[in-house]
Amino acid sequence: MTAQIAPMPEERVSLLAEAPTILEVDKLSLSFRNADGLLPIVTDISFSIRAGEAVALVGESGCGKSITASAIMGIAPDNAEIGGTITLNGNVISGLSPRERRRLCGRHMGFIFQEPMTALHPTLSIGRQMTDTLRHNLGIGQREATDRAAELLDRVGIPRARDILNGYVHELSGGMRQRVMIALAISCGPSLIIADEPTTALDVTIQAQVLDLLEDMRRELNLAMLFITHDLEVVGDFCDRAVVMYAGDVVERGLSADVVQSPAHPYARGLIDAVPSHDDGRTRLTPILGTVPPVGQWPQGCRFAPRCPRADGKCQTRPPLETVRNTDVRCWYPLEASA
């Protein structure tokens, strides 16, 4: 399968090039401390996001997408050892204490979790959770916080917003819960939103509605958005740029249209070939053989080599990230342009 994605319009390329950089991640690494020392999880992750731009982190489960987002947000586990530099709105935040990082959550960074049923508190009303967040981050009173919470729920398309404030998470459908999560994420006016597979637990129709809502919010509020997903169709339709991860490493990054339409890395090509086509159903899927290696069992050199049909002895040495055609690729034998 070769996805048919239109190139990004020149005017949008120019607009994003002039927009301020909201998030910059430079050589981010994360390891877990255990009895045997440090266990590397992600290595040398670098990308940036400008105001109004959506950047996708793409890869199979276990590739390091969510832990990368946790490191950016400052909610990685206590035994995490983080290296590299994270810059938010021009300020380096990677060296801040946990308490200082927590002050950035909500007011400067919002997080949309994959499963709102577990992210939202089950015994507190929706209104209590929203107004507590608003009062803590914005320093406003209860009445103003309640009015703003109702406005936010209405803004994300929830009917009877005042009634919903008195309800609880278990009383809402999956789509409604995710809309509440989005309202919470944007409630305090952050410049960056991190969405961790926010549509995975939803049916196809509701997925489309949530993606449309996120797109509207991003453009209306000029948000920078980090969108974590394994769905290449979503990447092509929703995101401006894509960063493909495998086994804690960046293997390809570039404009979404280039990555999806004509990938240069065999892993990115494999992800696209594994997406069901929308033709008459006669096209056979081409799975990627094998699985992502467990943490601590990564091969030397290219981490994708054991699953790659193009690998040879040279792949026992880790390839550099180099520009091939229009994307940055970590591969000794990048693919030719797709037909």
Low-confidence winner among 97-111, 130-144, 238-252 (lowest mean pLDDT)? 97-111
Residues 213-268 have pLDDT tens digits of 999 999 999 999 999 998 887 898 899 999 999 999 999 999 999 999 999 999 99
For residue 224, give the nearest of 47, 34, 43, 38 by alpha carbon: 47
Domains of the chain in sequence order = 18-108+191-278+285-330 (3.40.50.300), 119-189 (no CATH)
Could you tell me the pLDDT band of residue 201, with boundaries at 50, 70 and 90?
confident
Higher pLDDT, 177 or 280: 177
User: Would the pLDDT of 3 be above 50?
Assistant: no
User: Would the pLDDT of 307 be above 70?
Assistant: yes
Residues 149-165 have pLDDT tens digits of 999 999 999 999 999 99
Which helix (H) or strand (E) covers residue 142, if one does?
helix 142-155
User: Token pair for residue 150?
Assistant: 């109702």
Q: How far is residue 122 from each of residues 159, 167, 170, 332, measured CA to CA in Å?
A: 21, 10, 7, 50
Q: How far is residue 54 from each of residues 24, 50, 138, 278, measured CA to CA in Å?
A: 13, 8, 26, 25
Residue tagged 């999956």 (tokens): 174
Q: How far is residue 113 from each of residues 119, 230, 288, measured CA to CA in Å?
A: 7, 15, 28
